[in-house]
Chains A and B, each alone.
Chain A
Amino acid sequence: MQEGPWQSVLPVGDAAILLEFGDRVEIAVNERVHRVARAAHRLIEHGKLPGVWGAIPSYATLLIEFDPLTIERSEILARLRTHLATAQEETSPSRRFLVPVWYAGEDLTDVAERTGMSTDRVVELHTSRDFRIFTVGFAPGQPLCGILPDALRLPRRGAPRSAVPAGSVAIAGQQVTIYPIASPGGWHLLGRTPALPFRAARRSPVLWSPGDMMRFYAIDRVRYEELAAASAAGEEWLCASA
């Protein structure tokens, strides 16, 4: 009954299940996650998963939230399997976003110390490769990216901050992210971007989708403030290149 593109199905409380597709940050695993997530959203849109009200894809897992009085776990899985076996998949090509960062984050020095590097070297490592957007989540439009080079890997902070400033560019484990809004968080803050990942009034509220690529580049404070002002004025200056 658990056969499908997923490896295992774990109950999460009485109103959610977690489909596991693997146990590491890996592109092939993540692509399977999003294939099933798209199927789930398609079924929800067409009213074919009554009682299911949320589907949250992450790196290697998909959380499905439902009302257990309306639908049973086995029924959700059965409908997903049927859809996946019969439906045509449409995929969109991956885009690449160049994201400016003012590297003056609260934890930059600390990260340099803990990894035994200079802050310049931390910035260089962070800007020298493309990161894949593995999923969007935690906060509106927040890209969760990887894979961070080994030399920069650190566990999360012991106590999460109750308010990380909006625009913070941060790392933890193999992951890289941008905090789109001030929110709690336990990651290490390297710098800040003036880009606005989420705007409710946009036709598509989030700039990027899972599978898109992101590359960071360093800017100074003056440029940061210019671009932040442009963002505040509603300008959409951050565009994807093909």
Chain B
Amino acid sequence: MRLRVIVPGLATTVQDRGRLGYEHLGVMINGALDTRAAAWANRQAGNPDGAAVLEMTLLGAALEVLGDGAHDVPRAAALAGADLSCTLNGRPWLPGEARLLRPGDRIGGGSARRGVRAYLAVGGGIDVPVVLGSRATDTLATMGGFEGRALRAGDTLPLGELPPEPAGAEYARFEIPPTLLEREIVRALPGHRAAGPASSGLRRLADTWYRVDPRSDRVGLRLRGPRVPADVRGDEISEGMAIGAVEITSSGEPLLLLRSRGSIGGYPTLAVVISADLPVLAQRKPGDRLRLRLVEEREALEAWRAQRSVTLRSPRWAVWNGTLAPGARVERGDAIAELEVMGERRALRTPIAGRFMRALVENGAGVRETAPVCEILADE
């Protein structure tokens, strides 16, 4: 099975977890900017977290599913992250939903209703060549992904071998918490180049509502607002730049570094966005409001631990809550369970027509796990 691009969208690229281990050669990491949403999509499609997905930005792509002949089996696919008005064969396909793809299916995309970046994961992953250990597209260095560039109409993407588990959860739907897509405040720690916690630059930075500048991209978010006073030290010698670093340019403009940032930079780091809030930055678009809130390191680590643990425990398949008897009927739309998804509890609505779920009901096993799963609470 392959995916053919009919309409490419604005900046649709193949991404994975990123090109790690080559930063000392100046190679950017890249990879999905919203790592949380990409991992989530992969898990719903039955893939390992590192599988290559499509990252769509502000405008969804239109794709056609091509078959390779008699051996085609339907593949699980899932969307996560921004809501880019996507459809499958003309019917809405919302972020958080998994579907089965068959040859001839048409995936449609439109403008962003919420958030910026959406991730499409297909069982087996997008199988572009591995360059320096990764399939991530590096559009600046023109390598990785599909010919090192954003997708164009007519490109055909091969898919990888299917993982051994059966495709399932076709109809399970999980809402991706909107708080992440629409969050306007990100948490940060004081940077190592701030002149102490009382630095007037740091206070200005944390006291100001900024707007995301249109010149923002995968390298970084530029913030438009009051200039930050240059009371920082260490401007002279370039040094390694952390992802999430808030650099202050010589004109006093804050620049928040994302995963396509250069490995080394010379502007001083006044603050650093905490790991758990980096996905928020991926979902802010030009004109959106943004503000930094300084926190203690303890809070940063707690937030990261909470996000990582639920990311790791999120389901590869929907898991039956076990309260239904064999042969029981559940209508589409019935709430059958509550699912803890990345730290937030959500109602799980009927995943009922999929063969995988029906098999579960019939054999009465109640729970079928193929991977570490999240906590399921009975919906009393």
Q: Is B297 an interface residue (CB 8 A)?
A: yes
Docked complex Cα distance between A238 and B188 (Å): 45
Q: Nearest Cβ distance between residue A9 and chain B, in whole angstroms?
A: 10
Contacts of B149 in A (CB 8 A): none
Q: Is B102 an interface residue (CB 8 A)?
A: no
Docked complex Cα distance between A197 and B273 (Å): 32
Docked complex Cα distance between A139 and B133 (Å): 17
Q: Nearest Cβ distance between residue A36 and chain B, in whole angstroms?
A: 12
8 A Cβ contacts from A6-57 to B: 10-16, 18, 23-25, 37, 41, 44, 53-57
Q: Are A141 and B26 in contact (CB under 8 A)?
A: yes
Q: Tell me which of A14, A55, A60, A173 has the highest count of chain B C-beta atoms within 10 A of its own C-beta.
A: A14
Q: Is A189 an interface residue (CB 8 A)?
A: no
Q: Tell me which of B29, B189, B241, B249 contacts A160 (CB under 8 A).
A: B249
Q: Tell me which of A12, A25, A68, A159 has the highest count of chain B C-beta atoms within 10 A of its own C-beta.
A: A12
Docked complex Cα distance between A68 and B302 (Å): 11
Q: Are A206 and B25 in contact (CB under 8 A)?
A: yes
Contacts of A16 in B (CB 8 A): 240, 242, 272
Q: Are A140 and B26 in contact (CB under 8 A)?
A: yes
Q: Are B300 and A14 in contact (CB under 8 A)?
A: yes
Contacts of B242 in A (CB 8 A): 12-13, 15-16, 63, 65
Q: Mark B255-284, 1 if CB is under 8 A from A, else 0.
A: 000000011111101001111000000000
Contacts of A186 in B (CB 8 A): 249-250, 266-267
Interface of B is mostly: loop
Q: Tell me which of B21, B238, B300 has the highest count of chain A C-beta atoms within 10 A of its own C-beta.
A: B238
Q: Are A12 and B26 in contact (CB under 8 A)?
A: no
Docked complex Cα distance between A184 and B244 (Å): 17
Query: Count of chain B residues with Cβ under 8 Å from any Cβ of A?
Result: 54
Interface of A is mostly: loop
Q: Is B27 an interface residue (CB 8 A)?
A: yes
Of the listed stretches B77-85, B137-145, B335-343, chain A binds B137-145
By beta carbon, the residue of chain A nearest B193 is A10
Q: Nearest Cβ distance between residue B131 and chain A, in whole angstroms?
A: 5
Q: Is B239 an interface residue (CB 8 A)?
A: yes
Q: Tell me which of A18, A69, A155 contacts B308 (CB under 8 A).
A: A69
Q: Is B219 an interface residue (CB 8 A)?
A: yes
Contacts of A41 in B (CB 8 A): 24
Q: Nearest Cβ distance between residue B246 and chain A, in whole angstroms?
A: 10
Q: Nearest Cβ distance between residue B332 and chain A, in whole angstroms?
A: 39
Q: Are A144 and B264 in contact (CB under 8 A)?
A: yes
Beyond A61-B240, A139-B26, A139-B262, 4 additional contacts (C-beta under 8 Å) are A54-B20, A59-B237, A69-B304, A159-B250
Please provide the 10 A-B residue pairs with the shortest distance between their CB atoms, ordered closest to farther: A63-B240, A13-B272, A56-B240, A137-B264, A138-B262, A10-B192, A14-B300, A16-B242, A137-B263, A61-B239
